[in-house]
Structure 1
Amino acid sequence: MLNAKRQAEQYCRALPASHGWPPFIILCDVGHCFEFYADFSGQGKNYAQFPDRHRFRVYLEDLRDPASRAWIARIWSDPFSLDPARQAALATRQIAQRLALVSKALERRHDPEDVALFLMRCVFTMFAEDVRLIPADSFKRLLRECLEAPKSFKPLVEDLWRAMDLGRYSSAVRAELKRFNGRMFAEPQVFALGRDGIAELLAAAEHDWSLVDPAIFGTLLEQALEPAERARLGAHYTPRAYVERLVVETLIAPLRDDWRNVLTAAQQARDGGSLKTALALVDDFHSRISKTRVLDPACGTGNFLHVAQDLMKRLEGEVLEVAAELGATEQLGGFGARGVGPWQFFGIDAN
């Protein structure tokens, strides 16, 4: 499959301009599996493993599963319904309405910046429980308990957030928690809420946050703030489609051009009988993207940086797949000792 994706991309480039770029590329290893790559931007410059590195390959045996067949069928019947950005946008509107009600009530009595930080911690906690960074449904259970006793909300949430900051047992959710660095929970200011406010938070938490792109957290904050305070705090959100378009042009497209050249050279080396040389070329490229640093000099809520990391991780997934095809083991050598991560992404903002 080393050359198949590149060949498919060439077919896409040969399509007439009036046709547009297809959202999906599907590769087939006859009698074995299918591989799926997607680019919903319409640019054709970033076909990445879909939905992610762990699930982009569907084996023939997997087709026995009705759910697998159903989402593959949607590629033909309604491909853009699979675009994660569309799912995130729908969730954003619904959740923001809930958070806005809480925000407006709190801003009558508290500093809007403190309210924004409180809501952001709530948003992250909702996300954390649905992606299993904290025990599943633990925050929702806490909120349900607080509905019956609203005065318990402030001390219980304070206990939870202190435990998340320090990495210790939380009596609020009755579980040992991992430590969350970054100081988001270092000063966990919690506001007392009445039954209505707690109910709104619970309604927001009931959404499946594992489907929500963290890049939209900024827009949740923005939409929850009053317009005047939004301007004062400098909160501004750019939709993911716009962010991705810029990140692809400035960062991902050049990296993918380099990656295509590496693939060509690696293929030639492998065909010439030098598997070691082919693997060394791929290893060198992986080292380069693991050292690439990205700076957003006006980062705001960090959406550009999150999208940049996400797209670079997707590119890294392809690199690791090729390395595995050439015989590398991620747990050994350079591939296991490094990788694309948050330490490569930097932001500056005046706020």
Structure 2
Amino acid sequence: MRLGWDEIKRRARAFSEEWQAAHYEKGETQSFYNDFFDIFGVKRRRVATYEQRVKLLSNRHGFMDLFWPRTLLIEQKSAGLDLGRAGTQAFDYIDGIAQSEQPRYVLTCDFQNWRLLDLDKGGDPLVFKLPDLHKHIEAFAFILGRQRSFETQATVTIKAAELMGKLHDALEASNYKGHDLEQLLVRLLFCMFADDTGIFQPKDIFLELLRDDTREDGSDTGPKLMELFDVLDTVEGDRQSNLSGELNAFPYINGGLFTGRLRTPVFDKTMRALLINACEHDWSGVSPAIFGSLFQSVMDAKERRAKGAHYTSEGNILKVIGPLFLDDLRAELAKATARRTGREAALLEYQAKLSRLTFLDPACGCGNFLVIAYREIRRLELACLKALYPTQQIDAVLLSRVTVEQFYGIEVEEFPARIAEVAMWMADHLANNEYNEAFQGNSARIPLKDSAHILNADALDTDWASLVPPEKLHYIMGNPPFIGKKEQSATQKAQVRRFFDNAPGSGELDYVSCWFEKASSFAEQNKRIAIAFVATNSITQGEQVATLWARVLDRHQMYIFFAHRTFEWSSEGRGAAHVHVVVIGLRGTSPQHGRLFEYQSVRSEPIEIEAKQINAYLVDAPNVLCEKVVNRLLRVQ
């Protein structure tokens, strides 16, 4: 059986340590590459030969250090010699090789420095040093007979959204719609991610199942997927004994993701090709922000506006969670790490504190805020563990105390709610991989045991305490829908008036005002709760100010402890929108000073100033609300 990538990476680390002092071409090359091929469980002598003679164009003869026909040529040098000259020499050899035998890959190496060039793709070579071999080992997937593309994270993210959008459109055009389509896409999303990040072992077994075990015309693709979903939802010991080896290789996932029957989709040749194209993409490099982009890319543009389904880039999410909690937690970690006495106890208490924090996004969409907040909390915990165990090789995943169960979300639409659940599992796995990388571990949290608490409901009609009690909660955050009075539906208009008791001016309020009102009311029950929302800048201008902020600041006794004044952000899906927004942070205790972020233009970088008091207009001034005054003209007798 082929090795999985986790084991291959472990072997690559061991190889780097074993050969860290290698430097002599003639004396060590062959042993070096015998061990290198053994990283993949491949016997070098079965595929490649040393010192194969080749006739050069000059009619002289040369000897290739290692040659694998149609696959790889290696030109090795002693440490410190010019790899540029080695590359030139390699190309001289290629000119003398028969066309049918010419390799796709050229590796030049001096033991410590590596340059791998893909002649089919062209472009710059992959360059790295021996200690980093494990980080780039998947570039040598061709040794296992696999061809993969390795692209930047931005390219991978954009293309992944486009590929899933095309698959969605094709399925919907075939009349496979609604709940079944949404659940199918969520499950496929997880499988593609799992195939590239070590959840499925060996890597690419999902891709190979589709490519090798389904007919080209697509006629059996749907049934094969349904069979796989059943397997993923069944504990290994409970599976049928005559299940094929290809299917039985998949792990039990748990978490309810694959529970429940779906209507079997009927694929054709084109739809199967779209699915395989999506699987062939490198999902290990997808940014957590992909999930918002992915959801938006398959939503109808008219529906987006009607539902207020805005979503936020990662950079703007950090503008919210940074001042809300992340900046303080980073400072607290730095302080604990710098202690001269009681350092270990302080770090252990810090880790315990991280495990107690809870977070709610009451308009979570696809979970972007939750995913990035979770990632950042896990990275803080990882930094804490590094400080506690600087020289020890530990199972950091096992020692981790932060879990996705500390995160709560509410989302009115089922599809994004399900994506949010899966996104959190993916974020957890990526975090575990970072822990394994730091401590040379090999742990994964499979089967899934912990889940984020994502409620599919209307947040404005839901008692948030039924999801998370106020005394247990620390932070409320997010990007609630902002919809002006002219675009609000009759139901939304009624919700706004109900939240503000039909007070004068309530009919002018933006829909997002309801979240500020409800969150502030909820936080009254626990003064420890801090709130931060992205919102339209209109709620800090004109006649909306008095109606909204008289409730939030006066009735609920909240204080604005940080704010970003008006700036612009653009979405990342199809038909990107440009919206002018603010970020407002609230809490029930008065701050010693406020953090106010100003912008010279809506597209510039923020400039932070210290404010004595941030008022409802987001300026450093006392909180005086200007109410609308109507002067009636008196008729002169």
TM-score of the pair, normalised by structure 1:
0.66
Distance 1:148 1:110, change over 3 A: closer
Deviation, structure 1 residue 245: 2.8
State the alpha-carbon separation in 1 of the partners of residues 377 and 172 from structure 2. Answer: 38
Post-superposition Cα deviations, 1:228-266, rounded to whole Å, max 9, x if no partner, equal 4556777654222222332223221111121122223x2
State the alpha-carbon separation in 2 of the partners of residues 346 and 288 from structure 1. Answer: 18
- Match in the other structure for 1:173: 246
- Match in the other structure for 2:345: 280
Deviation, structure 1 residue 142: 2.2
| Higher helix fraction (1 or 2) | 1
Determine which of 210, 228, 239 is the counterpart of 2:284. 210
Amino acid in structure 2 at the alignment position of 1:183: G
State the alpha-carbon separation in 2 of the partners of residues 154 and 242 from structure 1. Answer: 39
Whether the 8 Å contact between 1:309 and 1:342 is mirrored in structure 2 is yes
Instruction: Give the number of the structure whose alpha-carbon radius of gyration is greater.
Output: 2
Deviation, structure 1 residue 348: 1.6
The 5-angstrom pairing of residues 1-150 of structure 1 reads 64-66=112-114, 67-69=127-129, 87-108=152-173, 109-135=175-201, 136-144=203-211, 145-150=213-218
Q: Does 1:164 align with 2:232?
A: yes
State the alpha-carbon separation in 1 of the partners of residues 315 and 284 from structure 2. Answer: 19
State the alpha-carbon separation in 2 of the partners of residues 117 and 235 from structure 1. Answer: 19
Deviation, structure 1 residue 214: 3.7
- Match in the other structure for 2:31: none
| Higher strand fraction (1 or 2) | 2
Whether the 8 Å contact between 1:215 and 1:303 is mirrored in structure 2 is yes
Distance 1:226 1:88, change over 3 A: farther
Secondary structure of 1:295 counterpart:
strand
Which moved further from structure 2: 175-184 or 225-234? 225-234
Determine which of 363, 369, 377 is the counterpart of 1:304. 369
Amino acid in structure 2 at the alignment position of 1:141: E
Whether the 8 Å contact between 1:297 and 1:347 is mirrored in structure 2 is yes
Determine which of 281, 293, 303 is the counterpart of 1:219. 293
Structure number with the bigger relative contact order (C-alpha 8 A, sep ≥ 6) is 1
Whether the 8 Å contact between 1:279 and 1:323 is mirrored in structure 2 is yes
The 5-angstrom pairing of residues 151-300 of structure 1 reads 151-168=219-236, 171=244, 173-189=246-262, 190-228=264-302, 236-264=310-338, 266=339, 268-269=340-341, 277-300=342-365
RMSD, aligned CA: 3.2
Secondary structure of 2:220 counterpart:
helix
Deviation, structure 1 residue 317: 1.2
Whether the 8 Å contact between 1:103 and 1:225 is mirrored in structure 2 is no
State the alpha-carbon separation in 1 of the partners of residues 309 and 245 from structure 2. Answer: 31
TM-score of the pair, normalised by structure 2:
0.38
Secondary structure of 1:241 counterpart:
helix
Whether the 8 Å contact between 2:217 and 2:272 is mirrored in structure 1 is no
Deviation, structure 1 residue 293: 1.3
State the alpha-carbon separation in 1 of the partners of residues 186 and 308 from structure 2. Answer: 15
Secondary structure of 1:68 counterpart:
strand
Distance 1:346 1:193, change over 3 A: same
Deviation, structure 1 residue 310: 0.8
Distance 1:329 1:147, change over 3 A: closer
Determine which of 410, 416, 434 is the counterpart of 1:348. 410
Secondary structure of 1:174 counterpart:
helix
- Match in the other structure for 1:15: none
Gaps of 5+ in 1: 1-62, 73-85, 270-276
Distance 1:339 1:102, change over 3 A: same
State the alpha-carbon separation in 2 of the partners of residues 186 and 231 from structure 1. Answer: 32
State the alpha-carbon separation in 2 of the partners of residues 245 and 182 from structure 1. Answer: 32
Secondary structure of 1:305 counterpart:
helix
Deviation, structure 1 residue 114: 3.3
State the alpha-carbon separation in 1 of the partners of residues 176 and 256 from structure 2. Answer: 22
How many residues align structurally? 266
Secondary structure of 1:185 counterpart:
coil
Gaps of 5+ in 2: 1-110, 115-126, 133-150, 414-637
State the alpha-carbon separation in 1 of the partners of residues 258 and 306 from structure 2. Answer: 23
Distance 1:231 1:179, change over 3 A: farther
Distance 1:133 1:233, change over 3 A: farther
Post-superposition Cα deviations, 1:5-56, rounded to whole Å, max 9, x if no partner, equal xxxxxxxxxxxxxxxxxxxxxxxxxxxxxxxxxxxxxxxxxxxxxxxxxxxx
